A and B are shown apart, each in its own frame.
Chain A
Amino acid sequence: MPTCKDVATAIGQDDVRTLPWWRGLALRLHLLMCPHCRRYAAQIRAIGTAARRLFREHGEDPQTLERLHETILGRRD
């Protein structure tokens, strides 16, 4: 059975999908039994979701984009 540290490391390193099936199964069993590791896994997932939303929703300043577009493509004329 993996320890909490093994589980947290595998989650942080994105190893979960590439583990051999029996280790993946052991990890899921551990998560079922361990509220701390479940919380850790949920937080790591939430941080990714938060970053995605943060960067995408903010969008970039349209004026900056337009200026860049003109500068970059204008150079080739």
Chain B
Amino acid sequence: MAEIVTPEDPDLAVQVRAGNRSAIETVVETYLAQILRAARGAGLDPQQAEDVTQATFTTFIEVAPRFEGRSSVRTWLFGILYKKIAEARRARRRDRQMDEIDDAFERRFDASGSWSTPPQPVDTALHHKEVETEIFACLDAAPLRQTLAFILREVEELSTEDICNVLGITRTNLGVMLHRIRNRVRDCLESKGVRR
């Protein structure tokens, strides 16, 4: 009988590549909820999120023998997920070079770089259903890579390097995306008057 492989196993990648059933089960059991959560967070409805999650793991199992182990299994899985979500959302909207949130950010400062419209108090305590709904709506309305960058950073707490690998972007790009999505959510909450 094969040994049980745990998520901490340093040989996990090797075992996955070898098609070890226990290793693959470990990966599915460890990351299933995280992948489904990220798919929901990226604005897919429950059915789409379930389909995309299933497709992610099916692809993972199919391509496991070709896994080169240059990234962690988790980074690799999120990379597959990103491609699947992008396919599901392809027609919806594109990431833009220029983004209206940049103008909104610029307008808050005067020529000397001081706040001309200082940030208003925003209630982010989140015991309010309203705030919750706003955050979901705002993430849903944002370009996909910004939303995923935000979820991978804030919810899944991946390293900068891992997020850049998953999304295929540079560190500078990641900084710009995080800045945009955070200002989007912040502006959203502020404009809805979700104040303390």
- Interface of chain B residues 1 through 57 with chain A (CB within 8 A): 21, 24-25, 28-29, 32-33, 36-37, 40-41, 46, 50, 53-54, 57
Interface residues of B in 132-186 (CB under 8 A from A): 132, 135-136, 139, 150-151, 153-155, 160, 174-176, 178-180, 182-183, 185-186
**A6–B109 CA distance with the chains assembled, in angstroms:** 10
Tell me whether A69 and B109 are in contact (CB under 8 A).
no
The distance from the CB of B181 to the nearest CB of chain A, in whole angstroms, is: 9
The answer on a CB contact under 8 Å between A12 and B179 is yes
B residues within 8 A CB of A4?
Answer: 109, 113-115
CB of A46 within 8 A of chain B? Answer: yes
- Most chain A beta-carbon neighbours within 10 Å: one of B21, B29, B54, B126: B126
Interface residue from A13, A59, A69 paired with B29 (Cβ < 8 Å): A69
B122 within 8 A of A: yes
Residues of A near B126 (CB, < 8 A) are 50, 53-54
In the complex, the answer to whether B114 meets A43 with C-beta atoms within 8 Å is no
Count of A interface residues, CB-CB < 8 Å:
40
Tell me the bound Cα distance from A64 to B52 in angstroms.
13
Report if A51-B50 is in contact (Cβ < 8 Å); known contacts: A9-B179, A72-B57: no
Assess whether B61 is interfacial by the CB under 8 Å rule. Answer: yes
In whole angstroms, how far apart are the Cα atoms of A71 and B24 in the complex?
Answer: 14
Contact with B along A35-46 (1 / 0, CB 8 A): 011011001101
Chain B residues with CB under 8 A of A48: 153-154, 182
| Residue from B46, B61, B131 in contact with A50 in the complex, judged by beta carbons closer than 8 Å | B131
Q: Residue-by-residue, is A17-50 near B (CB-CB < 8 Å gives 1, otherwise 0)? A: 0000000000000000000110110011011111
Is B124 interfacial (CB-CB < 8 Å)? yes
Show 13 A/B contacts (Cβ-Cβ < 8 Å), sorted by A: A3-B112, A12-B180, A12-B182, A13-B175, A14-B153, A36-B119, A39-B121, A46-B122, A47-B189, A51-B185, A54-B132, A67-B50, A68-B57
A residues adjacent to B (C-beta < 8 A): 3-6, 8-9, 12-15, 36-37, 39-40, 43-44, 46-56, 59-61, 64-65, 67-69, 71-73, 75-76
> 4 closest A-B pairs (Cβ-Cβ)?
A3-B113, A13-B175, A12-B179, A46-B124
Binding site for A on B (CB under 8 A): 21, 24-25, 28-29, 32-33, 36-37, 40-41, 46, 50, 53-54, 57-58, 61, 105, 109, 112-115, 118-119, 121-122, 124-126, 131-132, 135-136, 139, 150-151, 153-155, 160, 174-176, 178-180, 182-183, 185-186, 189
